[in-house]
Amino acid sequence: MSFLDDATLQNLESKANQIRQSIVSMLVEAKSGHTAGPLGMADIFTAFYFHILNHDPKNPDKEDRDRLILSNGHIVPVRYATMAHAGYFPLEELKTLRKFGSRLQGHPERHMLPGVETTSGPLGEGLSQGAGIAYAGRMDKKKFFTYVLLSDGEMQCGLTWEAGMFAAANKLGNLIAVIDRNNIQINGTTEDVMPLEPLADKWRAFGWHVEEVDGHNISGFIDAINHAKAITTAPSMIIAHTIPGKGIADIEYDFKWHGTPPNADQGAEFLKELRTLQGKIEGGHSE
Amino acid sequence: MLNIKLQLDQDVLHPDTIKLKPTRDGFGTGLIEAGKKDERVVVLCADLAESTRVEEFKKTFPERYIEIGVAEQNLATVASGMANYGKIPFIASYAAFSPGRNNEQIRTTIALNDVPVIIAGCHAGISVGPDGATHQALEDIGLMRMLPNMTVVVPCDAFEAHRATVALAQLGKPGYLRLGREKTPVITTEQTPFEIGTAYTYVDQENPDVVIFACGPFLHTALLVAESMQKDTTSVSVVNVPTIKPLDTKTILEHTKKAGAVVTIEEHQRAGGLGSAIAEYLVSEFPVPMEMVAVNDRFGQSGSLAELTKEYNLDQDSLTQAVSKVIQRKSI
Ligand SMILES: Cc1ncc(C[n+]2csc(CCOP(=O)(O)OP(=O)(O)O)c2C)c(N)n1
Ligand SMILES: [Mg+2]
């Protein structure tokens, strides 16, 4: 049951598709960078920047803004693309990704681009920082929410669980984390490399409110965020099941696309596929 | 100009025919040789098998490959336990994370325990390029060099990395091996000697104005500078110092006395690196004018190797200027 009307939802889906197109173009231009994760998280980033967050692209530092921490910094192309579409900076600048002198560093840096909140890339450090922000905000009776986006690979980092213990111990109801549960990492699937399941049970055992959602169902995701916001006595963990490489049939689910950019020819093919999908979304036949 | 005895690659000074290969490739082949020679050799990796080049070892000796996942602190400490038992573990990740993230685990459970774990820090230096500052380890030599019991090796090319890997497997002590991502010049050959703790004289001038001590792929820049400055009748000796700890103080002192001026070059912070190690030694033994070409208290950033080399003053021009400057200082 969703609270979104059809027009809003269609708008968000269309936005997510445009963001995927930008990601593909950026990576082709950069000739290095990560493809699978950013494409898989485009729907969730769209939901955040175009529906969930209290934020102002023209005033990225406004005091009461919700904080969105990206822990798995390697998927930052999706953040840059979404921020550009939301009006933080010109779309044109996306072409500078990973280039010398660019504000769009290969992994995000706090002082480079207003609105990225923190530096990341080395995995596993986002949940602790988010917990610190949430804790400090609460000390000052601030009303904003702190959202932390995590990858499933980061569930293997001990620090993630140290943060989990801290956040639950301190009942950080203003902290909401989302796991990009795409089942892949570099050496293969997470369950082959270092199994994570039963992941939801683990977070529950750590004292978190846990929900599992389809990470490509934007309205379902927004519902889960709303439930999480209503829980004030515990931090929330939303396990979002996503498809790595989502939108490009040939590369979906394939861990080899973790850190490989499309070349120019592949990029052209990918864009064609996404544009066809765009037509379907706008025609109202997305599913 | 090049020392014939060392049988260096003939094309090393020829821009058209020079061969390029990343040092991590030599680590990959070295591991196979080390694994064949000694069945105690095991490899542990934190979700970076392909890019650290341990993939081939994994295929050759699947039962001696251990996957840790994204958990560098566990990587170091599980390896410590295995070494404690009697294995010879190599741990492979990026230098920013190992020995970056797991520094204290290395300090206590590997160095203080004095067990033979070899830490392979890949993708070190600014040469990781587009990944940017988070991934460009520029302090790893310092971190490892400050630990008692630790040996620190920075190979200049893939062949040297191969030999260093084989040698480190038999060291019986903690070791750090620094490796790069980018393809860099092949300087040595399979015949070129390598021993842990030895510095090698690549360009030996009779009356040198300056000696350059270098480690890692930037040794190549030193060779180019020695060649080009020779045309202007400036005489530059070049010494490859692959082992930063223990330092080959005998060779370093000999060359310093002969030249009376020293320049160092490395892809690392000035604080704590090769130049710093040599300065610490010379300041009490034989102080002479000295210049260090290194990253000077800045983080890296995204860019190509060429762009970053220029931005951080590690290019041929910067090294040439440092040589000229140190010669001037000598005459004051
Ligand atoms: C501390 C740390 N160790 C290793 C890496 C290298 N690394 C980058 S992404 C990645 C895979 C992690 O899996 P996940 O984040 O789930 O990747 P994805 O789903 O985006 O493919 C690894 C090991 C890193 N960035 N940080
Ligand atoms: Mg993943």
Q: pLDDT (tens digit, 9 = 90+) per residue, B145-172?
A: 999 999 999 999 999 999 999 999 999 9
Task: Tell whether A94 is within 8 A of chain B (Cβ).
Answer: no
- Give the confidence band of A2 by pLDDT, cuts at 50, 70, 90: low
Residues contacting B154, CB < 8 A, separation 6+: B141, B178, B215, B216, B242, B244, B266, B274
Are residues B70 and A101, on separate chains, in Cβ contact within 8 Å?
no
Residue A232, pLDDT above cutoff 90: yes
Task: Tell whether B108 is within 8 A of chain A (Cβ).
Answer: no
Residue A153's Cβ-count burial label (10 Å; 0-12, 13-18, 19+) is buried
The pLDDT tens digits of the residues spanning A38-60 come to 999 999 999 999 999 999 999 99
Residue B97's Cβ-count burial label (10 Å; 0-12, 13-18, 19+) is buried
d(CA A41, CA A281): 18
Same-domain status, B178 and B255:
no
Chain B contact probe: residue of A95, A116, A123 with most B CBs at under 10 A: A123
Same-domain status, B107 and B256:
no
Same-domain status, B181 and B90:
yes
Chain A contact probe: residue of B59, B122, B134, B181 with most A CBs at under 10 A: B134
Strands, E, within B68-182: which ranges? 88-94, 118-122, 151-153, 175-178
Is residue B34 domain-resident? yes
B72 among known catalytic residues: yes
d(CA B174, CA B41): 14
Task: Quote the pLDDT of residue A140.
Answer: 98
Same-domain status, B179 and B236:
no
CA distance B126 to chain A (A): 12
CATH of the domain at B30: 3.40.50.970
Is residue A1 domain-resident? no
- Give the confidence band of B232 by pLDDT, cuts at 50, 70, 90: confident
Task: Quote the pLDDT of residue B331.
Answer: 84
Is residue A189 domain-resident? yes
3-state secondary structure at position A173: coil
Chain A contact probe: residue of B51, B70, B123 with most A CBs at under 10 A: B70
Please identify which residue in the block is written with the tokens 């994370």.
B97
What total number of domains does chain B contain? Answer: 2
The pLDDT tens digits of the residues spanning B19-74 come to 999 999 999 999 999 999 999 999 999 999 999 999 999 999 999 999 999 999 99
Ligand 1, atom 24, residue with closest C-alpha: A122
Same-domain status, B84 and B181:
yes
H helix count then E strand count, chain B? 11, 14
Is residue B310 domain-resident? yes
Are residues B132 and A107, on separate chains, in Cβ contact within 8 Å?
yes
Which carries the bigger pLDDT value, residue B330 or residue B29? B29
d(CA B37, CA B31): 10
The pLDDT tens digits of the residues spanning B238-293 come to 999 999 999 999 999 999 999 999 999 999 999 999 999 999 999 999 999 999 99
Same-domain status, B222 and B132:
no
Query: Which of A100, A102, A157 has the CB atom closest to B70's CB atom?
Result: A157
Is residue B325 domain-resident? yes
Task: Tell whether A189 is within 8 A of chain B (Cβ).
Answer: no
Is residue B6 domain-resident? no
CATH of the domain at A67: 3.40.50.970
Catalytic residue among B39, B72, B139, B280: B72
Is residue A92 domain-resident? yes
Is residue B14 domain-resident? no
Same-domain status, B34 and B171:
yes
* Residue type at position B199: A
The pLDDT tens digits of the residues spanning A101-150 come to 999 999 999 999 999 999 999 999 999 999 999 999 999 999 999 999 99
The pLDDT tens digits of the residues spanning A106-116 come to 999 999 999 99
3-state secondary structure at position A179: strand
d(CA A79, CA A267): 19
C-alpha pair distances (Å), B176 with each of A71, B56, B247: 29, 21, 14
Residue B85: domain span: 20-185
Average pLDDT for B179-201: 98
The pLDDT tens digits of the residues spanning A253-275 come to 999 999 999 999 999 999 999 99
What's the whole-number average pLDDT of chain B? 98
Task: Tell whether A195 is within 8 A of chain B (Cβ).
Answer: no
Is residue B7 domain-resident? no
Is residue B243 domain-resident? yes
Question: For chain B, what percent of residues have pLDDT higher than 90?
Answer: 99
Residue A269: domain span: 6-282
Test site for ligand 1: of B70, B98, B123, B128, most ligand atoms within 8 A of the Cβ: B70
Is residue A256 domain-resident? yes
Q: Is the CB of B48 within 6 Å of ligand 1? A: yes
Same-domain status, B249 and B170:
no
Is residue A220 domain-resident? yes
Is residue A236 domain-resident? yes
Helix (H) or strand (E) holding B32: helix B23-37
Residue A76, pLDDT above cutoff 50: yes
Phi-psi region of B45 (alpha: psi -120 to 50; beta: other; left: phi over 0): beta
Same-domain status, B236 and B164:
no
Nearest atom in ligand 1 to B48's CA: 23
Is residue B208 domain-resident? yes
Same-domain status, B164 and B247:
no
3-state secondary structure at position B45: strand
Cβ(A233)–Cβ(A171) under 8 Å?
yes
Are residues A194 and B67, on separate chains, in Cβ contact within 8 Å?
yes
Task: Tell whether A207 is within 8 A of chain B (Cβ).
Answer: no
Q: Is the CB of A189 within 6 Å of ligand 1? A: no
H helix count then E strand count, chain A? 10, 5
d(CA B268, CA B293): 9
Residue B114, pLDDT above cutoff 80: yes
What total number of domains does chain A contain? Answer: 1
Q: Is the CB of A258 within 6 Å of ligand 1? A: yes
Same-domain status, B221 and B180:
no
pTM for this model (two decimals) = 0.96
Q: Is the CB of A155 within 6 Å of ligand 1? A: no
Residue A1, pLDDT above cutoff 50: no
Sheet of B118-122, strands arranged across: B65-67, B41-45, B88-94, B118-122, B175-178, B151-153, B243-245
What's the whole-number average pLDDT of chain A? 97
Alpha helices (runs of H) in B157-298, residue ranges in sequence order: 158-169, 219-231, 249-259, 274-285
Same-domain status, B149 and B211:
no
CATH of the domain at B229: 3.40.50.920
Test site for ligand 1: of B44, B45, B47, B98, most ligand atoms within 8 A of the Cβ: B47
